[in-house]
Every structure is written in C-alpha cells, then in structure tokens.
Chains A and B, each alone.
Chain A
Amino acid sequence: MEMHEALQASWEPKIVAFLCNWCSYAGADLAGVGRIQYPPNTRTIRVPCSGRVNPLFILRALQNGADGVLVSGCHPGDCHYLSGNYAARRRFAVFSRLLEYVGIEKGRLHFSWVSAAEAGRFAEVITEVTEEVRKLGPAKRLVKKKVE
C-alpha cells in the first residue's frame, strides 16, 4: 500500500497535445521563446490543422496510456484552410459527448483555440488541462494492458 501511495505521489500525468501548425503550435513556440513557464506534462504532436485530427488519434493515445488528450487549433474564422477548425468543432462536439457517454471521465479530453500570438494563453491552457487531468489520476479506462 505504501508503495502504491509512493507511486501515486510521484505520478505525473502524460498528456498528448495535437497542436495545429499555424496557430497553437506557433503559440507554444512563442511561449517557449518568451520563457513562459507551464507544466512539462504534454507531448506535442504537430498537425497541419485541428481538422486533421481523426478521432482514432485520440482513442489510440488513450489506449496507449495517455492520461489526457488536448486538441488545439486556430480560433474560429482564423483557419489557415478556411474551415478546417469549423469541421473539427462539429466532429469533436459529437465525439467528446460520445466518449463521456460511454464512461470516459469528462476531464480526459480537452479542446482549445489558441492563436499564434497567444503565448500566455497557451501556457494557461496547458496548466489548466494538466491540473484537471492530474485531479482525475492515472487513466484506467480504455487503456490497453501491456504484456508482462
């Protein structure tokens, strides 16, 4: 039990962040250049557009042990491809409700709009997401057991 608690205490959430190349990724970059501090729990995957994110990306991340997933793109109206984020918004409106419906905890999956200029906002979003996922503890649902 002590061991378990010790492990719990040292546990840090792993979060996979799918960031759109044109806005959120650039925002992350700017946050870095500006030396803005935020939790180091995200693993970034750069995608051309939030519309590129297939729900299977998210499921795969969760299945392979991500404790949380963030998809972040350009603000509505700012999409480099004009409507990619609008398509993503519809898709994920349905998809996030579906995941919650089958019992995946609400705070595992996050979406945000962060522009290339919003370095501070990027750091805030990451902090917020990290804390929400941390509160939920390690993901157990939908996680595939590793072969010993």
Chain B
Amino acid sequence: MGDSSKQIREAARKLFEENKVDLIIGFEDGSLPLRATPCFIRRGEDAERLVWNSFCENNLATYLPKKKGKTGIVAKGCDSRSIVGFLKEKQIERENLVIIGVPCEGMIDRKAVEERLGEREILSVEEGPEEIVVKGTDYEEKMKKEDLLPESCRICTHRNPVLYDVLIGEALEEQKVADPFELIREFEGRTAEERWAYFCGETEKCIRCYACRNACPICYCEACYVDSSEPQWFGKSIESTDTMIFHIVRAFHTTGRCVDCGACIRACPMDVDLRFLNKKIEKDVLELFSFEAGEDPDEPPPLTTYKQDDPEEFIK
C-alpha cells in the first residue's frame, strides 16, 4: 500500500502543476491507530500529506456536492460509485472533477479489531501486505486483514473504481461473491416477531446524532425530512417510534442510491446496524427493477422512472 501513497502524491502534484485542480480531497494519517482522516490539499507541496492504507474508510464523495471549482478526489470503488450517483442526480459536473481512482482491497473495520482485543487499548498498528500488527502496552498481535473486513467490503464486487481519470496501480481482480444478500435472506426468513424485536433493539441504541445521514454521500438534501418543521413529520426525540420512523425513512431514501460503502455504519457512535435496512432495499431494487446503483451515470434512478409491466403483485 506504500506504493499507492507515493503514486497518489505524484498524481496530485502533477494535477496542481498542470493547473487541473484547485483542491484535492484525499486521506492523511489520522491521530489514532487504525485511522486515516480526510484531508483537503490546495497546494502541490502539501501533496506530501496524502496517504493510502487500509484505514481510508471514509467515503470522500460526501464532500463533493458543496465544493466549487475544480476538485480532485481520491476514490475507491465505492466512492466512485457514489460519484456516479451524483452525476446521475446532477449534483456535480464531471468536467469539474478529476478522479484519482484507487483499487481497494477493503478497509479494515476498526470495531472488529477492537472487539478481538477485548478491552486492551491499541497503541500502534503496522500494516503489511496481508496482515496488521497491533501493539499495546503489554501485547502484540498479528491479524489477517481479510478477517477484519466489514461485511460490505467482504462481499464487494467493485474494488476497482468504475470511473476515474487517473488510476493508481493495477486494477484488481474483482471478487466472485455467491450471494451478496445472504444475510438479508437469512433475516427475511425470520418471523415477523423476531424481525420486529431486532429492529426495536437496533433503533433503541440510536441517539439521533445524524452521523449516519451526514456521513452518507447521497444524503445531500439542503432540507432533510428530519428537520422539517412545517410539516413536522414525526417527533425529534429518541422516543422509540420516532427513532424507528427516522430509520425507516432514512433507509427508504437510499432506494436505488446506496452503494453499500458502509459510511453510515462506520460513522455510527452507537453501533446501530443500519446496513440491514439499506442492503434489503438494494436487494429489492435489484429484484424488482433489475437496477444497481453506481453503475451508469446516464441510467435514471429507479424511483424516477417506471416500466408499464413493473411488478404489482402487492396491489389488489
């Protein structure tokens, strides 16, 4: 991964030299082990700060809709698919964007690492090609990276950016995944009581900080249904049904738009399982309308279009 960092820096410097960008959004080292952090580079000499490693977990596309001027962005497969979503929804202009695409082998789930360590604090982490070495005051542990991937990375079939201007390194072979919706099918198989109990348990944890919404690239609305006062659709507190409605509608608003980047789950400070809703919708949209988000910028989003023979078995 060290090479990728170098190549990203070079690419960034070159873009500044050639006056192709005013800003590059990438990652730099974070302040904690297992963390990289988004950074905003405005001068070629600052490109030194850019890094690439298995901790570049944020979906940087989130920052794009508000940016003016020529912007460069370091994009993984999922970030690039979010960019496709923006192009589809006319939130950004392709000609103002330079995409530095980086093939991605998956970003390590820091919560998974912490869980393995119990409550031993992590003081430093070193990353190798296959594994990471985690060190604390009185321990050192090797962990295989592939065992630490979150579900969204584990089943990812878009490791390579779908859209880019510069590609860092070689494209990776895409994974073959037998059933990306395995967990969803398992959940669908449970009884309504079980599903309801799980949904209650997850939403009960929520503190309505809106980190999931704000971390999500497609939640770019100027005025969110959550904040509307006239009408106020539902309550703003953590009363259980209000929180549930927040989550149902948040998930519903991702219909045909979620690329399963995992940004919402990573952002959640309370470990709410947001993906079990998003992924369900992804599955249904594929089944019902044969649509997959983040593929073709010119294909309209599924809820803005229709076919005369769309499924209607649910209608009397």
Collect the chain A residues with CB atoms within 8 Å of residue B194's CB.
Answer: 103
Instruction: Find out whether the CB atom of B234 lies under 8 angstroms from the CB atom of A94.
Output: no
Contact residues of A between 74 and 92, Cβ < 8 Å to B: 76-77, 83, 86-87, 89-92
Among A55, A89, A102, the residue within 8 A (CB) of B277 is A102
Residue from B288, B302, B305, B316 having most chain A Cβ neighbours under 10 A? B316
A92 contacts across to B, CB distance below 8 A? 314-315
Q: CB-defined interface of B300-316 with A at 8 Å, one 1/0 digit per residue?
A: 00111110101110111
Chain B positions within 8 Å of A93 at CB level: 284, 288, 310-312, 314
By a CB distance below 8 angstroms, the chain B residues around A96 are 314
* Binary interface encoding of chain B residues 264-306 relative to chain A, with 1 for a CB under 8 A from any of its CBs, else 0: 0000000000000100110011001100000000000011111
- Interface size class for chain B? 35 or more
**Does B43 have its Cβ within 8 Å of any Cβ on chain A?**
no
Contact at B195–A101, with CB atoms within 8 Å? Answer: yes
Is A112 within 8 A of B248, CB to CB?
Answer: no
Closest beta carbon of chain A to B69's beta carbon, Å = 36
CA distance A128 to B104 in the complex (A): 53
Query: Is B188's CB within 8 Å of the partner chain A?
Result: yes
Residue among B248, B305, B308 making CB contact with A98, cutoff 8 Å: B248
Q: Is the interface of B mostly helix, strand, loop or mixed?
A: helix
Residue of A nearest to B193 (CB): A103
Residues of B within 8 A of A89 (CB): 306, 310, 312, 315
Contact indicator per residue, chain A 12-47, by CB within 8 Å of chain B (1) or not (0): 000000000000000000000000000000000000
Which of B114-122, B151-159, B216-224, B236-244 forms contacts with chain A?
A: B236-244
Taking a contact as CB atoms under 8 Å apart, the answer to whether A142 and B244 are in contact is yes
| Pairwise interchain contact B249-A102, C-beta atoms closer than 8 A | no
Q: Are B188's CB and A101's CB within 8 A?
A: yes
Q: How long is the Cα–Cα vector from A25 to B8 in the complex, in angstroms?
A: 61
Return the chain B residue nearest A93 by Cβ: B288
Interchain CB contact under 8 A, A90 and B252:
no
Smallest CB–CB gap between A122 and chain B, Å?
11
Per CB-CB distance, the 8 closest pairs between chain A and chain B, nearest first, are: A103-B196, A86-B306, A112-B316, A103-B195, A102-B199, A111-B315, A144-B241, A56-B233
Interface residue B181 (Cβ < 8 Å from any Cβ of A): no
Given that A101-B187, A102-B248 are known contacts, is A90 also in contact with B196, CB under 8 Å in the complex? no
Contacting B255 at CB < 8 Å: which of A94, A143, A144? A94
In the complex, what's the smallest C-beta–C-beta distance from B313 to chain A, in angstroms?
9
What is the CB-to-nearest-CB distance from B23 to chain A, in angstroms, rounded to a whole number? 36
A35-B185 Cα distance, complex, nearest whole Å: 47
CB<8 Å pairs between A and B, sample of 8: A55-B248, A59-B233, A59-B245, A86-B308, A89-B312, A95-B252, A98-B277, A99-B248
A111 to B316, CA, bound (A): 6
CB of A115 to closest CB in B, whole Å: 13
Is B192 positioned at the interface, with any CB of A under 8 Å from its CB?
A: yes
**Which residues of chain A have C-beta atoms less than 8 A from B235's C-beta?**
144
Selected from B192, B244, B281, B284, the residue in CB contact (under 8 A) with A105 is B192
In the assembled complex, the CB of A35 is this many whole angstroms from the nearest CB of chain B, namely 23
- Give 15 A-B pairs besides A94-B288, A113-B316 with Cβ atoms closer than 8 angstroms: A55-B249, A56-B233, A56-B245, A59-B249, A86-B310, A97-B280, A101-B195, A102-B199, A103-B192, A103-B193, A103-B194, A106-B192, A111-B315, A141-B196, A144-B235
Contacts of B196 in A (CB 8 A): 102-104, 141
B197 at the interface (CB under 8 A from A): yes
**8 Å CB contacts to B: which residues of A93-148?**
93-106, 110-113, 125, 128-129, 141-144
A101 to B277 CA separation, bound complex (whole angstroms): 9
User: Which residues of B have CB within 8 Å of A63?
Assistant: 234, 241-242, 245
Q: Which residue of B lies closest to A128 (CB)?
A: B316
Question: Which A residues are in CB contact (< 8 Å) with B306?
Answer: 83, 86-87, 89-90
Min CB distance, A88 to chain B, in Å? 9
How far apart sit A125 and B255, CA to CA, in the bound complex (Å)? Answer: 29
B280 touches A144 (CB 8 A): no
Report yes or no: B252 in contact with A111, Cβ–Cβ below 8 A: no
Q: How far is the CA of A55 from the CA of B249 in the complex (A)?
A: 8
B251 at the interface (CB under 8 A from A): yes
B288 contacts across to A, CB distance below 8 A:
90, 93-94
